[in-house]
Each structure stands twice: as structure tokens, then as C-alpha cells.
Amino acid sequence: MMTTTGENVSPKSGLTAFILCMFFGIFGIHRFYVGKIGTGLLMLITFGGLGFWSFYDFVSIVCQNFKDKQDRYVIITRSPKAARNLLLAFLLFYVSLIGFIMVTAGAKLSAVKRVAKNELAVLRTNDIAKAYSLTSEDFKKSVSLEDFKKFIHAYPQFTTNTDSTFEDIKFQDNTGGIKGYLIMPDKTQVPMEMRLVNQDQHWQVESLDLTTSPVAKPDATPATVPNAQ
């Protein structure tokens, strides 16, 4: 962190550059602000170097090492102590933000997995009506209870498996997808997929897909709940 004196200090506001970089860093707005039009345009078309460049600039601004077009430091405060406190506050904020994102993502992942596991567990008890009640409203509009019962009876792997495993769980906004296997009593694994949707803060099953042959057979054909797509 540099010591700012005299003519090496830019007339541009470090606080303004800080705010611009925080909210519009990937567009290079802070560089336009300090007169660096060329690199600002480059940052704009690369989305802040995919975020890495804008993050570097942000740290430079906080550390008061960022310069304007005339190679003068753009500072937020002349006090070294205040600058250090600002850097510490930024680091705490950044770590807290990353922690919050990770916790939120982990909670969503856990919720999606829990609902999927519950649906398969209920089917394993052969309580098809209850399993149907766990599906989304859109699913119920597309598939009647009788059609759902016919589908489950046609593919008994849903009720005769002993366990299930998930290998790929993805979610985006209010939708989620799961790929995994139903483990049969003879230890064969039948590939299955499930899609879920978040309605009124509750994850619900939106569709079920099943490959009727064991995973060892690459020519297996998929079976899908009728009209559920």
C-alpha cells in the first residue's frame, strides 16, 4: 500500500472508482472514469477478463495502488491506517460473501437431494398415491394419478430397488436435475433421472425417467412418465 503525496495523487475520487468497480467492474466503467478508455473497452468486451481482471482492479483500488490515465494514484483516503481498515473490511466482506454463497448452494443441494431421496423411498414402499402427492402441480396437470400408477406398475424397478445413489445433481434458479442409479436386489444398477422444481419455497418432483435395463447394457432404452415432459 503506497503513501500518497503531492502530484502523484489523481483528482479522481477513489470512492467513486471503488463503487463503480464493485457494481460495474466487469464492464470496465471504473477505467472509463479514470480516463483509461482503451483498457476500459478491452475489459468491456472480455467481461472484466472473465471477472479476474475486474477483481484485480478492485483489490488495487482498495489497496490504493490503482492509477488513472496520467499514472497518478486514485486514492480513497490519505490515511494509511484508514486504508488498511478499508482493506480489512473488504476482505471480511468478501470472505463472508463467499461463505454465504457456499452455504446457500449447499442448502439448496441438500434440499434437492432430500426431496429426490424421499420420493424414491416412498415409491419403494409401494405407496404410489403418496409419491404422486409429492410431485409438482404442473406434473399433476399433465399426468393423472391413474396414469402415474400405470407407469410405476409398468416399471417395477421403482418399487423393487433396495437403494439409490446420485452421481450428478444440478440446479439453476428454481429448477434442479438429478442423475443416478436404482440399486436392485441383485446389485445391478438401473440409471434414472429426476427433474425437480421449486414451488412456493418447496422442491417438488417434476418428472421421472428410467432406463429399464441394467447399466451394463449400453443399448438400454429410456422409459419416461407419460406426458410429464
Tell me what pLDDT residue 4 has: 53
pLDDT band at 80; cut points 50, 70, 90: low
Give the model confidence (pLDDT) of 154-190 as tens digits.
Answer: 999 999 999 999 988 887 778 888 999 999 999 999 9
- Residue pair 148/132 in contact by the 8 Å Cβ criterion: yes
Q: What average pLDDT does the segment 44-66 reach?
A: 89
Neighbours of 27 (CB within 10 A): 18
Tell me what pLDDT residue 124 has: 94
Give the class (CATH, top level) of 126-224.
alpha beta
Tell me what pLDDT residue 63 has: 82
Q: What average pLDDT does the segment 35-57 reach?
A: 92
227/139 Cα distance (integer angstroms): 9
User: pTM score, two decimals?
Assistant: 0.59
Q: What average pLDDT does the segment 123-139 reach?
A: 93
Edge-to-edge strand order for the sheet containing 175-183? 163-172, 175-183, 189-199, 202-211, 222-224
221/223 Cα distance (integer angstroms): 7
Tell me what pLDDT residue 40 has: 92
Question: 67-81, 84-98, 133-147: which has the minimum mean pLDDT?
Answer: 84-98
Cα diameter, the chain: 83
**Position 14 pLDDT exceeds 70:** yes
pLDDT band at 200; cut points 50, 70, 90: confident
217/199 Cα distance (integer angstroms): 36
- The per-residue pLDDT of the chain, averaged, comes to 84
Give the model confidence (pLDDT) of 203-222 as tens digits.
Answer: 899 988 887 544 433 344 44
